[in-house]
């Protein structure tokens, strides 16, 4: 049991608003991140969950911080990071946001043909730069092509201990499915293929490997 150890997890999508009624987002349901949070709780961690907008009920005994934008998620993750022993960044964070947000609903006829986008900060990369010796940092890589190559590049660039590769081109797993299939890569060169199963089962297997 992980007594007195803190686990910080992010889950769900972010929303980047264009005007008060329109936003840019992605199909993340939060199921994978919430399954990890439940597993962490079961193993005795004190759990902080930072979540984008999802329709999953809060989990008993877990501190939940609701956020919407990538910047709100970044602030919540940084606030809880220094005391976290294990960090799992499962959220699907928007890489970009509209440069301008209109404060009134844009009428159909005035709606711009092009929306200028600017980059959001990479939260995980920022956490990787601040990582202390006692901390284990785990990221996800949602890929549609060259999965292993891209995941390994992210593992290194973001200074992670582990990365979980998720093939999001397969609609039976990944985004919004109850099931998943993951390949875990460690910074020390370990590779583990976790076969198709429920997100709960995969969360159990991920913790077993990471805590070994
Ligand atoms: O929520 P579900 O429906 O259950 O779906 C689960 C999932 C598919 C969302 C999940 O398993 C998953 O793959 N999450 C990562 C999604 C993602 O944003 O991947 P990425 O390859 O674009 O980003 C790599 C890593 O950097 C991720 O850990 C991401 O959280 C992080 N990131 C990305 C951009 C950014 N601005 N800041 C970040 O921290």
Class of domain 6-211: alpha beta
Edge-to-edge strands of the sheet including 136-143?
A: 63-66, 46-51, 6-11, 86-89, 136-143, 162-167, 179-186, 191-198
40 three-class SS? helix
Quick check: CB of 28 below 6 Å from ligand 1?
A: yes
What CA–CA distance (Å, rounded) separates 129 from 144? 27
User: Which residues are identified as catalytic?
Assistant: 26
What CA–CA distance (Å, rounded) separates 50 from 104? 29
Quick check: CB of 89 below 6 Å from ligand 1?
A: yes
Query: Residue 179 in contact with residue 159, Cβ under 8 Å?
Result: no
Given a cut of 80, whether residue 139 has pLDDT beyond it is: yes
- Ligand 1 atom at minimal distance to the Cα of residue 26: 9
Query: Residue 146 in contact with residue 124, Cβ under 8 Å?
Result: no
User: What residue owns the CA closest to ligand 1's atom 13?
Assistant: 142
Phi, psi of 202 (to 5 degrees): -65, -35
pLDDT in tens, 93-110: 999 999 999 999 999 999
Query: Residue 77 in contact with residue 127, Cβ under 8 Å?
Result: yes
- Ligand 1 atom at minimal distance to the Cα of residue 143: 21
Q: Hey, which of 70, 91, 145, 162 would you mutate to test ligand 1's pocket, going by the most ligand atoms within 8 Å of its Cβ? A: 91
pLDDT in tens, 144-203: 999 999 999 999 999 999 999 999 999 899 899 999 999 999 999 999 999 999 999 999
Sign of the four-CA dihedral 38, 168, 188, 134: negative
Ligand 1 mean position, distance from CA 22 (Å): 22
Ligand 1 mean position, distance from CA 89 (Å): 7
pLDDT in tens, 44-95: 999 999 999 999 987 899 999 999 999 999 999 999 999 999 999 999 999 9
Nearest to 15 by CA among 52, 65, 58: 52
Phi, psi of 3 (to 5 degrees): -65, 135
pTM given for the model = 0.97
Cβ neighbour number for residue 7 with a 10 Å cutoff: 25
């Amino acid at each position: 049991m992980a007594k007195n150890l803190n686990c910080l997890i992010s889950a769900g999508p972010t929303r980047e608003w264009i005007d008060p009624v329109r936003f840019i987002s992605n199909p993340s349901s939060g199921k994978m991140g919430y399954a990890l949070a439940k597993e962490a709780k079961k193993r005795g961690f004190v759990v902080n969950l930072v979540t984008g907008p999802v329709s999953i009920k809060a989990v008993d005994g877990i501190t939940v911080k609701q956020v919407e934008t990538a910047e709100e998620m970044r602030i919540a993750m940084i606030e809880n990071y220094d005391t976290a022993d294990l960090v799992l960044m499962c959220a699907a964070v928007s890489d970009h946001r509209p440069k301008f947000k209109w404060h009134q609903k844009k009428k159909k006829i005035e709606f711009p043909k092009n929306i200028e986008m600017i980059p959001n900060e990479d939260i995980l990369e920022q956490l990787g730069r601040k990582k202390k010796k006692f901390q284990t940092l785990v990221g996800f890589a949602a890929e549609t092509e060259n999965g292993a190559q891209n995941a390994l590049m992210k593992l290194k660039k973001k200074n992670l201990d582990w990365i979980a590769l998720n093939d999001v081109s397969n609609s039976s797993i990944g985004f919004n499915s109850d099931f998943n299939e993951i390949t875990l890569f460690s910074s020390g060169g370990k590779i583990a293929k976790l076969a198709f199963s429920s997100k709960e089962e995969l969360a159990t297997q991920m913790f077993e490997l990471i805590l070994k």
